[in-house]
Amino acid sequence: MKKDKIIGSKILSSFDNLYHGTLPKVEFNIAHVDKDKILDVLNLHGEYKIILGRQEHGDNVFVDTDKQKSQGLRIIPNTDAIITNVPRTIIAVYTADCVPVFIFDKNKRIISIVHSGYKGTIKKIVPKVIAKLTNQFNSKKKDLLVYMGPSIGRCCYYARNEEREVIFKKYFDDYLKLVDGKYHLDLSGSLENDILNAGIPKSNIEKSSICTSCNLNFSSYRREGKNRKASNLNLMMLK
């Protein structure tokens, strides 16, 4: 994997059996994904399975437990979270300001990756993933490590219109700050609170300090709008 490009987590980087991180500004089109191109960008060679969700800002979770040697690329409709316990299976989500959430059960060796914008956060997609890990896989919450990757910060994420302002006040009132007449939202802060309320110890949670809107090295829907030609690719894989 090209270590000079991928942005990772301190808490997850200590595990040699885990690939993870964010590749900024990857020019992939979800409708025309090239598996070989993804593997080339990651500097990986050989047979791998890649699972991507066709993200809809929803709360659907796809679970992969297929340990057969089926390889290739799968794009799962209407999916914003993926869970797998299968080695050499790359699970990935695209972001361009939304929060990518990486979850690792260090004991049972299960991984999950989640795309959570404000809509997914309202729908509690991350707590639902945690519940699925504990209920379906018998994960212990003390064993779950959670990393929130680069996303838009409160510095740049403000309500652009009255309709969005109403939504922010309704669901995120404790995480709003009024600056120059605009309500700025700390989305990752709200998400962290949900993760804590789901029972994950605070010492198991890490949050990136990178704002994708401020940092020009990252793709940002807020900054680039319709001119955006790339996304940030967030991925995990068990070796």
| pLDDT tens string 150-178 | 999 999 999 999 999 999 999 999 999 99
Please say if the pLDDT value at position 68 is more than 90. no
Please say if the pLDDT value at position 46 is more than 90. no
C-alpha span between 132 and 113 (Å, rounded): 13
Q: What is the CATH number of domain 10-152+187-238?
A: 3.60.140.10
**Least confident window among 16-20, 23-27, 98-102, 151-155:** 23-27
Nearest partner of 91 among 239, 237, 238, judged by Cα: 237
Q: How many CA atoms lie within 13 A of 41 on its CB side?
A: 21
The predicted structure's pLDDT at residue 8? 95
The predicted structure's pLDDT at residue 3? 45
Tokens of 107: 């004991």
The predicted structure's pLDDT at residue 61? 98
* pTM score: 0.95
Domain coordinates in residue numbering, the chain = 10-152+187-238
Tokens of 223: 């900054």
**How much of the chain exceeds pLDDT 90, in percent?**
83
Per-residue confidence band for 69, with pLDDT thresholds at 50, 70 and 90: low
CA distances in angstroms from 103 to 15, 76, 130, 142, 149, listed in the order given = 13, 19, 9, 12, 11
The predicted structure's pLDDT at residue 2? 47
Phi, psi of 38 (to 5 degrees): -60, -45
**How much of the chain exceeds pLDDT 70, in percent?**
97
Q: Could you tell me which residue, 133 or 44, shows the higher pLDDT?
A: 133
